[in-house]
Structure 1
Amino acid sequence: MSTDNAPKRKLSRRGFLAGGLGALAAAGGAGAWALDRYVIDHVEVSSASALTAANVVAAEAASDGTATATSYTSDTATVSIETVATGSGSDKITYFVADVTVGNATIVRSAFANDQFGENIIANPSTIAKSLDAVLAINGDYYGFRDTGIVIRNGVKFRDSGARQGLAFYADGTAKLYDETATTADALIAAGVWNTLSFGPGLVENGKVLTGIDQVEVDTNFGNHSIQGQQPRTGVGLIAANHLLWIVADGRSSGYSRGVTMTEFAQIFADRGAQLAYNIDGGGSSAMVFRGNLVNNPLGKGQERGTSDILYVAG
């Protein structure tokens, strides 16, 4: 994760690995607690996909489909990817738009790093995507940094601790913004929810850019919890049932892409017809992977960062 576009790694694992492990180990007491809490893997569910297997069998595609460098077509999904560059010099913005249409909403799935649910478990998005032979993938909400939120993945409840505005994808191909604190995971599943994301904020609702989103703080925990300013970002949107937009904007690379504000990001979705859109984890973690290959250029360096989870279109 980056240091300024996530609800920020109370103490980020990567920050520790870069220089803080020794100091914490030597400090003992509170330092040892923080090391255990924010760096050491805490696996709650191993082989997590086994829990969701019964839910996804019926949605498996019978055809491998056909693909080009920027598109994919099968009996169950159509994906096209567009690269957009606007502005110039220090004001240049580069972003990637994946237009996704599926015949069955349940082929849009989530997967955990190392197939394990828990905290501080990470893998590069392309690594997770390749293990599943995913057609298209983006980084998820980095659920594993925190112990709050409602986490429903592929129709299975993994966490039920409402804390913020979430996004719910339904098995009928629709999606809704919702208040996690006003419901439960069981109630959502009973209503037909297939996947949830817990990050935010919501960007677009009823086709309109939401106001005040440039001032939102997703979490107020230890560390940098700001997601404001011009940042690399990842978001998901819905044009209509079973018609999605996944957009990744690169940033922090002068002359290539400065990043976008939250309102700028929302406007990109609205201009492309999204009736609903939602911001998820960004910064250096923003990644789009197509047929196993990284599409975007994180921080202008072409290097992925590990994350807890991905959203993907099954092949």
Structure 2
Amino acid sequence: MKKRLKQGLIAGGLAVVLAAGGGTAWALDRFVIPHVEVSDVAAYEAAQSPTATATDDGDSSDTASTTPVVTDTTYTSDDASIAITQYTQGSGSDTVTYYVADITLSDATVLRSAFANNQFGENITALVSETAEANGAIFAVNGDYYGFRDSGIVIRNGVVYRDDGAREGLVFYTDGTAAVYDETQTTAAELLADGAWNTLSFGPALVEDGAVVAGIDDVEIDTNIGNHSIQGEQPRTAIGIIDDNHIVIVVVDGRDSGYSRGVTMTELADIMVSLGATTAYNLDGGGSSEMWFNGEVVNQPSNGGERATSDILYIAAG
């Protein structure tokens, strides 16, 4: 079974710390050892949000082998309509393969977030499929991997979990709108008062006002041990807003010459614009990029199988 890429990067960083002497215990505590802050997210949300519903949790493991298999790529219920399409462009080593989920929601709160193992904290992970199945999802993608970092504003399903603004975030409001915002210029309480339903803290913003954001290929999200940059041609996950309650989610496969090389940030932004997104935002990528639908992994994760992550975005089966 392959080790997770992020674990490999972290291990390399820890080796440097160890060689330098001191700090090893800190690094293990910060990047490896789980820290549970909320032990029962379902109960916590039910106590604070009238729209939250209880769910069962699932077990986690590092990876699970998978190949892309989608037998039925459309879904319609009273809550949402979902249509998934595979696109392939280029040829040979320049081939790019990506999957697009075009989603219309009856209400903004139909797009939900779930944490691995029904717990909130750092370094808590489970496979996307496990978290999806534990929450009765019909559709899911990886989230922003909030649990790898200890900063950012984390509001999920109308409940505040973290309030430490650090970067450019994306907020979804209960009225069906969404916006890119500067986390350092507001608070979780202010966002919640304005109707925030979910926030994502990774980035960067790819598209604003229907145009590709300049300079995104040079952005670094984190510079700490184990997560240095997101530049170059990589597997990607992005979410875009076409109109109120009309979103598009893209997962690009990569690191597999002849099947899909991955894309740069600007190429990802171009894809989002071509799909009609007026606003688009980059989520966690690399081996984490995964689209799951109706019990199957849609894409081909670059790890050779699913990578355990800390959170998902999902739509529950109707």
The TM-score normalised by the length of structure 1 is: 0.89
CA contact (8 A) 1:2 1:283 kept: no
Q: Pairwise mapping of residues 105-144 of structure 1 onto structure 2 (< 5 A)?
A: 105-144=108-147
Q: Pairwise mapping of residues 83-122 of structure 1 onto structure 2 (< 5 A)?
A: 83-122=86-125
Q: 1:238 aligns with which of 233, 238, 241?
A: 241
Q: Which runs of 5+ in 2 are unaligned?
A: 55-69
Structure 1 position 73, deviation (Å):
0.4
Structure 1 position 30, deviation (Å):
1.5
4+ runs deviating over 4 angstroms: 14-21, 26-29
Q: Which residue of 2 aligns with 1:48?
A: 41
Q: Pairwise mapping of residues 141-152 of structure 1 onto structure 2 (< 5 A)?
A: 141-152=144-155
Q: Distance in 2 between matches of 1:267 and 1:215?
A: 16
Q: Which residue of 2 aligns with 1:38?
A: 31
Q: Distance in 1 between matches of 2:113 and 2:273?
A: 25
Structure 1 position 72, deviation (Å):
0.4
Query: Over residues 98-156 of structure 1, what are the superposed CA-to-partner deviations in whole Å (9 max), with x where a residue is unaligned?
Result: 00001011010000000110000010111100111101100000011111000000000
Structure 1 position 36, deviation (Å):
1.7
Q: 2:263 aligns with which of 254, 260, 271?
A: 260
CA contact (8 A) 1:133 1:291 kept: no
Q: Distance in 1 between matches of 2:10 and 2:179?
A: 36
Aligned length: 298
Q: Distance in 1 between matches of 2:26 and 2:51?
A: 41
Q: Distance in 1 between matches of 2:112 and 2:277?
A: 20
Q: Does 1:176 align with 2:169?
A: no
The TM-score normalised by the length of structure 2 is: 0.88
Q: Which runs of 5+ in 1 are unaligned?
A: 4-11, 61-66
Change (3 A) 1:37 1:170: same
Q: Distance in 2 between matches of 1:19 and 1:213?
A: 25
Q: Distance in 2 between matches of 1:216 and 1:31?
A: 28
Q: Distance in 2 between matches of 1:27 and 1:217?
A: 25
Q: Distance in 2 between matches of 1:17 and 1:128?
A: 25
Change (3 A) 1:56 1:298: farther
Q: Distance in 1 between matches of 2:222 and 2:260?
A: 26
Structure 1 position 218, deviation (Å):
1.3
SS in 2 for 1:259: coil
Structure 1 position 291, deviation (Å):
1.4
Change (3 A) 1:86 1:2: farther
Q: Distance in 2 between matches of 1:300 and 1:30?
A: 29
Query: Over residues 213-240 of structure 1, what are the superposed CA-to-partner deviations in whole Å (9 max), with x where a residue is unaligned?
Result: 1111112323442111100000000000
Q: 1:296 aligns with which of 295, 299, 311?
A: 299
SS in 2 for 1:196: strand
Q: Distance in 2 between matches of 1:18 and 1:261?
A: 25
Q: Which residue of 1 aligns with 2:277?
A: 274
CA contact (8 A) 1:236 1:278 kept: yes
Q: Does 1:214 align with 2:217?
A: yes
Q: Distance in 2 between matches of 1:58 and 1:254?
A: 43
CA contact (8 A) 2:84 2:99 kept: yes
Query: Over residues 202-261 of structure 1, what are the superposed CA-to-partner deviations in whole Å (9 max), with x where a residue is unaligned?
Result: 001111111111111112323442111100000000000000001000000001000000
SS in 1 for 2:36: strand
CA contact (8 A) 1:56 1:107 kept: no
Q: Distance in 1 between matches of 2:81 and 2:216?
A: 31
SS in 2 for 1:79: strand
Query: Over residues 141-188 of structure 1, what are the superposed CA-to-partner deviations in whole Å (9 max), with x where a residue is unaligned?
Result: 001111100000000000000000000000111100000000000000
Change (3 A) 1:164 1:18: closer
CA contact (8 A) 1:94 1:256 kept: yes
Q: Does 1:305 align with 2:307?
A: yes
Identity %: 60
* AA in 1 matched with 2:35: H
Change (3 A) 1:186 1:219: same
* AA in 1 matched with 2:266: T
